């Protein structure tokens, strides 16, 4: 029988990851040299990182309360990675947007690369969480 707290933690971790997995590719179809589009992309990633860090913190606490300390540390690491990545990622994105405003020809290309990198990072985390569900859902107490 699966542990309820572990299932809860898995679900709340998957929600922001699935959101970004579905929403981010839409930005591949638009030009990022349009300022409102670039700002919307930035806002989407900001929301993703904040939500993932919050969901990870809540999930880690929920799992730790049930006594699964190793799993709580793993979920906490995902939350910490999201919080740390947010600062770096948004700083890089702001720099690319500012460069684009200063008519840097490569700024839009670098913004697109940053977008791809964010999607790849999310995909890797998503695969790790989904692949670990069969092992953690029946974690011993």
Structure tokens at 115: 């977008």
Locate 97 and state its tokens: 């947007």
Question: If you average pLDDT over every residue of the chain, what do you get?
Answer: 89
Closest CA to 101 of 33, 31, 30, 27: 33
Model confidence at 137, pLDDT cuts 50, 70, 90, reads: low
Q: Tell me how far the alpha carbon of residue 112 is from its chain's centroid.
A: 17
Report the distance separating Cα 33 and Cα 30, nearest Å: 9
16 closest CA partner among 51, 40, 44, 41: 51
Specify the pLDDT at position 8: 87
Measure the CA–CA gap between 81 and 48, rounded to whole angstroms. Answer: 12
Helix (H) or strand (E) holding 126: helix 107-136
- Read off the pLDDT of residues 68-118 as tens digits, 9 standing for 90 and up: 888 899 999 999 999 999 999 999 999 988 887 777 778 888 999 999 999
Least confident of 3-7, 68-72, 118-122: 3-7
Residue 95 burial (10 A CB sphere; 0-12, 13-18, 19+): middle
More confident residue, 53 or 140: 53
- Half-sphere exposure for 56 (CA within 13 Å, toward CB): 23
**pLDDT at residue number 88:** 95
The predicted structure's pLDDT at residue 103: 74
């Amino acid at each position: 029988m699966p542990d309820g707290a572990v299932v809860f933690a898995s679900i709340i971790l998957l929600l922001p990851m699935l959101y970004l997995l579905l929403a981010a590719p839409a930005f591949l179809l638009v030009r990022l040299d349009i300022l409102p589009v670039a700002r919307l992309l930035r806002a989407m990633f900001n929301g993703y990182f904040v939500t993932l860090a919050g969901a990870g913190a809540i999930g880690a606490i929920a799992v730790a309360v049930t006594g699964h300390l190793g799993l709580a540390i793993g979920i906490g690491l995902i939350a910490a990675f999201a919080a740390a990545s947010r600062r770096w990622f948004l700083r890089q994105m702001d720099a690319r947007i500012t460069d684009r405003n200063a008519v840097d020809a490569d700024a839009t290309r670098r913004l697109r690369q940053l977008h791809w990198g964010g999607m790849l990072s999310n995909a890797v985390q998503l695969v790790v969480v989904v692949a670990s569900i069969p092992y953690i859902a029946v974690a011993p107490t």
